[in-house]
Amino acid sequence: MSTDKVTVTIAAPKFETVAFPIVGTAPFVARKFSQKAQQIIRDGHEAGGTSRAKKKRDPIDYQAMYEEAKHISDEGWCGIPAPAFRAAMVRAAVVGGFVMTRAKLAVFIEADGFDNEEGTPLVRITKGEPERHDGYGRDARGGVSLSSRPLWRAGWEAVVRVTFDADMLTATDVGNLLSRAGLQVGVGEGRPYSKDSTGCGWGIFAVKDVADAAAT
Strand partners, 125: 158
More confident residue, 210 or 207: 207
Handedness of CA 83, 213, 150, 140 (dihedral sign): negative
Q: What is the pTM of this model?
A: 0.83
**pLDDT score recorded for residue 39:** 44
Q: What's the first-to-final CA gap in the chain, in angstroms?
A: 51
CB 11 within 8 A of CB 168: no
Query: In sequence order, what are the residues at sequence separation of 6 or more whose Cβ sits closer than 8 angstroms to the Cβ of residue 65?
Result: 34, 147, 148, 149
**pLDDT score recorded for residue 141:** 66
**pLDDT score recorded for residue 214:** 67
Q: DSSP 3-state assignment of 42? A: helix
CB 84 within 8 A of CB 108: no
The string of DSSP letters for 70-110 reads: S-BBTTS-BEEEHHHHHHHHHHHHTTTT--HHHHHHHEEE-
Residue 26, pLDDT above cutoff 50: yes
Burial 68-100 (b: 16+ CB within 10 A, else e): bbbbbbeeeebbbbbbbbbbbbbbbbeeeebee
Strand partners, 207: 22
Mean pLDDT, all residues of the chain:
86
Residue 24, pLDDT above cutoff 70: yes
